[in-house]
Amino acid sequence: MKTIAIGLLGCGTVGVGVAKLLLENRALIQSRLGADLHLKYVADIDTTTDRGLAFDDGVFISDAFTVVEDPDIDIVVEMIGGQGIAKDLILKAMENGKHVVTANKALMASQGNTLIEKAREVNVDLAYEASVGGCMPIIKALRESLVSNHIRSMTGILNGTCNYILSRITDEGSEFAQVLAEAQAEGYAEADPTLDVEGHDAAHKLAIVTALAFGMEINLADTYTEGISKITPIDIDFARQFGYRIKLLAIAKNDNGKIEARVHPTMIPESNQLSKINGILNAIMITGDAIGDVLLCGHGAGQLPTASAVISDIVDIARNIMAGIARRIPVLSYQPEHIQRIPVMPMDELFTHYYLRLAALDKPGVLSIVSGVLGQHGISIKSVQQISRRKAGTVPIVMLTHHARELDIKNAMAEIAALDVVEDDPMVIRIEDESNHV
Ligand code: HSE
């Protein structure tokens, strides 16, 4: 039986999961693959902490460059993370003719175009299923299952930490900081949790799948990114009253060549299937011209779910090696000559409807001043709610709008924020429902 040698770089949470599956499920994988996956090296700067795994002598080493330089290694699995040494090692591995598997979403989103070009130049495979949505096979779906479709849109919950925080606040009234600490303790949150909370992690993932879906280069720079740190329990309560839930959504749309790519807190109807995806789960709804809607859902983080996606990439590449080929499936789903540099639509041009909340003085005429400003900017109000006066000071005024242009909302909100009768910055949350479908 053919043996394929694997070199694993990084033995943190996911790295341990990959080693564990390769060692403990070795016979199972062999029975499906028809070859043996031999874990020749596991490299990590910390070789003293017990990982609970029984490595043979000489497997667990501290020098990652030994792995990428070893001529026996067929596939290098990068589980280090970050954009420094991880990138150097991937490039060196590819230059040495090794295929690469990575779960590194930040690196793929920021520098994936360079890595993809290098893989093409040296004719090796580069696979990154675990970079988006943990065990959900979204990249496989886009690169293989859905190739006959014009993808119209993808709407995803791609950050488990934010989904966990919002779900716990919504359903249990938990405190933001306490729930974030729990997500960190469970190992879901990034090392720097602002990557989760401010939407960057979801944006990394969205930039990758947007490229795959629409035949464009990865474009993180133009992916609009807004996190959940300003969402308050008041907004969650109002959302409930209006029949919505607030989710951090990653949305990509292709409306006749006009590409939207945006991550932001979003109100969606409670009846929407994504409203039911709670806790640390991820999900993505893909809409295509042949399929209609397909919903993928699963653990977007965690040791074994993420490792499962990594192993699926290793097995795909191993099958190519056994067949004596490389790059059978284009890295970004489209043949390189069909990948375009398509600009993402500026956020100011977005049309959607909005939830607006102001802290306004409770006195005669305030509502008419505010609605006057909205009217001057062409914004039509669908409904208004004002909480009755409890004591002197401000009261929340909440408005839902009909479809409006983002730029007009922005300008109107700046004007309203400057009014003497309004305190604090107004809260703006975009609403996504059936009327937003392309
Ligand atoms: N921090 C990420 C999340 C982990 O919370 O979803 C998986 O990418």
| Confidence check: pLDDT of 388 > 70 | no
Which residue among 13, 129, 165, 196 has the greatest number of ligand 1 atoms within 8 angstroms of its CB, and so is best to mutate? 196
Domain co-membership, 127 together with 164: no
Atom of ligand 1 nearest to the CA of 202: 6
Taking only the tens place, the pLDDT of each residue in 193-244 is 999 999 999 999 999 999 999 999 999 999 999 999 999 999 999 999 999 9
In this structure, how many other beta carbons lie within 10 angstroms of the beta carbon of residue 118? 16
Domain co-membership, 17 together with 129: yes
Domain co-membership, 236 together with 316: no
Distance 190 CA to ligand 1 centre (A): 6
12 within a domain of the structure (yes/no): yes
At a CB cut-off of 8 Å and minimum separation 6, what does 186 contact? 280
pTM, to two decimals? 0.96
Domain co-membership, 114 together with 197: no
* CA-nearest residue, atom 8 of ligand 1: 301
Whole-angstrom CA distances from 222 to 75, 117, 204, 207 are 33, 20, 11, 9
| Mean pLDDT, rounded, of the chain | 95
Contact 354, 426 (CB under 8 A): no
Last-in-domain residue among 338, 361, 395: 338
Token reading at 116: 């993809």
250 within a domain of the structure (yes/no): yes
382 is catalytic: no
| Confidence check: pLDDT of 387 > 90 | no
37 within a domain of the structure (yes/no): yes
Report the CATH number that the domain containing residue 311 is assigned in CATH. 3.40.50.720
Taking only the tens place, the pLDDT of each residue in 9-61 is 999 999 999 999 999 999 999 999 999 999 999 999 999 999 999 999 999 99
Domain co-membership, 48 together with 159: no
Atom of ligand 1 nearest to the CA of 158: 6
Pocket of ligand 1 (CB under 6 A): 134, 159-161, 188-190, 196, 201, 300-301
Last-in-domain residue among 285, 317, 338: 338
* CA-nearest residue, atom 7 of ligand 1: 301
Tally the domains of the chain.
Answer: 3
Domain co-membership, 156 together with 128: no
438 within a domain of the structure (yes/no): no
Q: How far apart, in whole angstroms, are the C-alpha atoms of residue 159 and residue 247?
A: 10
Domain co-membership, 400 together with 317: no
Kindly state the percentage of the chain with pLDDT values over 90. 91
| Catalytic pick among 40, 98, 105, 205 | 205
* Nearest alpha carbon to residue 80 among 70, 72, 88: 88
Domain co-membership, 108 together with 202: no
Which residue among 201, 206, 306 has the greatest number of ligand 1 atoms within 8 angstroms of its CB, and so is best to mutate? 201
Report the CATH number that the domain containing residue 270 is assigned in CATH. 3.30.360.10
Which residues form the domain of 374?
A: 347-432
For the residues of 191-235, what is the DSSP string, one character each? Answer: SSTHHHHTSHHHHHHHHHHHHHHHTB----TTSEE--STT--HHH
Distance 160 CA to ligand 1 centre (A): 5
- What is the phi/psi pair of residue 45, to 5°? -65, -25
Domain co-membership, 361 together with 327: no
